[in-house]
Amino acid sequence: MPEAAIFAAGTLMPVSGPPIPDGAVLIQDGRISAVGPLAEVSRANPEAPVRFFPRSTIVPGAVNAHAHLGFRTKDAPPGGTFSGWLTKLIERLPEKESWTAEAARDSAREAVEAGTTFMAESSPYGECLPQLVESGMAGTVYAEFFPGDYDGAEPRDIVDSIIQRVQKMNDGLPPRVAARVSVHSPYTVDPESSRLAARRTREMGWTLAFHLSESPEEVEFVRKGTGGLADIFGSNAWGGVGVSPVRYAEGIEMLAPETIAAHLATGVGEEEVEILARTGVAAAHCPRSNENLGCGVSPVPLMMERGVRVGMGTDGLWSSPSMNLFEETLVALGLHGFDGATALRLATLEGARVVGVGGETGSLEAGKWADLAVVEVAPGGSDPELEAVEAAAGGGVVATVAGGDVIYNRAEG
């Protein structure tokens, strides 16, 4: 059994409470068993070895509420419009097969080196599960399924098939990693398959990932059945229903507390936010991807005001410049005028609440998993959390600990 260990820093930011100068966490069996001033924690546990970073700050590990691992920066399709980008992405899928696994490994590594300890990843049929497991992060891989791949099978059979496949994927996984189902989007999955997948996974107590109300083209597809997405898929069989994507999603029973809706960047007004709040759906905010693909700005402050859970997501490297969740959060801070404490909370505890693990991670509290990042910064100004987020966004993470294991230590390369 692993020995107890103390991690301490000049500043410790539990997020669940105010920063602690010379603060420490005691880690036992992968979990935090005490939090407080280093002097107290070490006095009560004199046997535990202490790793003290006097010029650094310890924050909870970042929780990435929406990401794709299997992409790489060097051949990203150009941004500009969502449907233009998606057209190129689809064209490049065959050539991508040969390097997806390598890209997933690299993306996961980049996230770990930026202090990420939990990732909600979506990939076709969950293809990036092995690389998430290998990374040492906790997380969920959401297996996207595409009814077009099932040779005209009935929605019931399609949904049976993906659920069985995902159940098998859960065999033998490490305790903090799970496989679940993703309904990719309103323009790739027909309404009946979406409805059945949402119902059945909900009955099983599973969370569900969904891209929703991301682009102007999606709004047009759902409302009118026309535009760039109807052109790509050569069909508008279930588009053109005359309502917003959020109202459409509510109508097909996709919206519930188990659902994590990514993006919500376009076509989300007062009425849609009311639906999101009423149904209890959670939101993953990906502002850099949205900007790159001409998708507008998600009304995050309004959603938060109405009680919608909001976390941050990097999306993947074909639409976004990095897998650094703190960097993503800094962009949200700039867009919405948040202070540092709100930003740090969004990157950690709020993300954990979005992905259904708010009781287990996202803050430094006794009983939670020992998931944390050591950031090279000694904040001295009026907004210390902002200094910590900025440093983590700018490559300042020197160590990442997930479930009590050091999964990254810059000193050791």
**Cα–Cα dist 160/203, whole Å:** 14
Give me the least distance between CB of 403 and Zn ion, in Å please. Answer: 26
* Token pair listed for 91: 């064209």
Looking only at the bridges linking them, the beta strands covering 397-402 and 372-375 are antiparallel
125: left (phi over 0), alpha (psi -120 to 50) or beta: left
Q: What are the backbone angles phi and psi of residue 318, rounded to the nearest 5°?
A: -90, -10
Q: Which residues contact 211 (CB under 8 A, 6 or more apart)?
A: 184, 185, 261, 262, 263
Give me the least distance between CB of 131 and Zn ion, in Å please. Answer: 17
Give me the least distance between CB of 18 and Zn ion, in Å please. Answer: 35
Instruction: Considering the complex, state which of residue 100 and residue 342 has its C-beta at the smaller distance from Zn ion.
Output: 100
Q: Which of 307, 232, 227 is nearest to 266 (CA)?
A: 227
Q: Using CB under 5 A, which residues numbered 96 to 115 contact Zn ion?
A: none
Instruction: Considering the complex, state which of residue 264 and residue 399 has its C-beta at the smaller distance from Zn ion.
Output: 264
Instruction: Considering the complex, state which of residue 55 and residue 92 has its C-beta at the smaller distance from Zn ion.
Output: 92
Instruction: Considering the complex, state which of residue 25 and residue 179 has its C-beta at the smaller distance from Zn ion.
Output: 179
Instruction: Considering the complex, state which of residue 272 and residue 315 has its C-beta at the smaller distance from Zn ion.
Output: 315
Instruction: Considering the complex, state which of residue 106 and residue 315 has its C-beta at the smaller distance from Zn ion.
Output: 315
Give me the least distance between CB of 66 and Zn ion, in Å please. Answer: 6
Q: Which of 241, 306, 226, 238 is nearest to 271 (CA)?
A: 306
**Cα–Cα dist 65/285, whole Å:** 8
Give me the least distance between CB of 56 and Zn ion, in Å please. Answer: 32
Q: Give ∠ CA 122-126-128 in degrees, rounded to 5.
A: 80
Alpha helices in 97-181 (DSSP H): 100-113, 129-135, 155-169
Give me the least distance between CB of 286 and Zn ion, in Å please. Answer: 7
x-or-dash string of contact with Zn ion, 126-165, rule CB under 5 A:
----------------------------------------
Residues touching Zn ion: how many (CB under 5 A)? 1
x-or-dash string of contact with Zn ion, 299-328, rule CB under 5 A:
----------------x-------------
Instruction: Considering the complex, state which of residue 85 and residue 206 has its C-beta at the smaller distance from Zn ion.
Output: 85
- How many of the other CB atoms lie within 10 Å of CB of 133? 17
228: left (phi over 0), alpha (psi -120 to 50) or beta: alpha
Classify 207 as helix, strand or coil. coil
Instruction: Considering the complex, state which of residue 315 and residue 371 has its C-beta at the smaller distance from Zn ion.
Output: 315
Give me the least distance between CB of 266 and Zn ion, in Å please. Answer: 14
Instruction: Considering the complex, state which of residue 117 and residue 188 has its C-beta at the smaller distance from Zn ion.
Output: 188
* Sheet of 116-124, strand order: 62-67, 116-124, 138-145, 177-183, 208-212, 259-263, 282-285, 310-312
Q: Using CB under 5 A, which residues numbered 265 to 294 contact Zn ion?
A: none
Give me the least distance between CB of 185 and Zn ion, in Å please. Answer: 9
Give me the least distance between CB of 284 and Zn ion, in Å please. Answer: 8
Residue nearest to Zn ion (CB): 315
Q: Which residues lie near Zn ion (CB under 5 A)?
A: 315
